[in-house]
Amino acid sequence: MQYLVSVIDDKSEPGSTDRQPLISAFNERLIAEGYWVFAGGLADTTAATVIDNRGEQAVVSDGPFVESKEYLAGVWIWEAPDLDVALRLATEASKICDRKIEVRPFQ
């Protein structure tokens, strides 16, 4: 089963910025243990562009699709045998990243 693992940061109480060495070591472990599929950090929400082409004409807007103090800071995609394993890894990831983690299975 594959899982989207979202890293959630908070503009009012951001996570530590010195975590990259710990995150890199965690990523290396994910790769070695066969859980890693993909990962990437995201640019700040000010770099986002939203496109809505549901109407007569496409509307292009700068900024995130929703204004919130919490935002998506990065993602992993993991391959794990079950939700319990994904949640165990996410618990570790939250401590390592110093941020909230959301785990969602792909359908």
Give per-10-residue mean pLDDT for the chain (107 aa): 96 84 96 98 91 96 80 96 98 96 97
pTM: predicted TM-score of the whole model, two decimal places: 0.89
Give the pLDDT of residue 44. 87
Q: Give the pLDDT confidence score for residue 15 in this predicted structure.
A: 83
Q: In whole angstroms, give the CA distance from residue 92 to residue 5.
A: 12
- Which are the contacts of 95, defined by CB distance < 8 A and separation ≥ 6? none
Q: Looking at residue 48, what DSSP letter applies?
A: -
**C-beta separation of 92 from 19 below 8 A:** no
**Which pLDDT belongs to residue 17?**
84
Domains of the chain: 2-105 (3.30.70.1060)
pLDDT of amino acid 64 = 72
Show the CA angle centred on residue 19, arms to residues 16 and 21, nearest 5°: 165
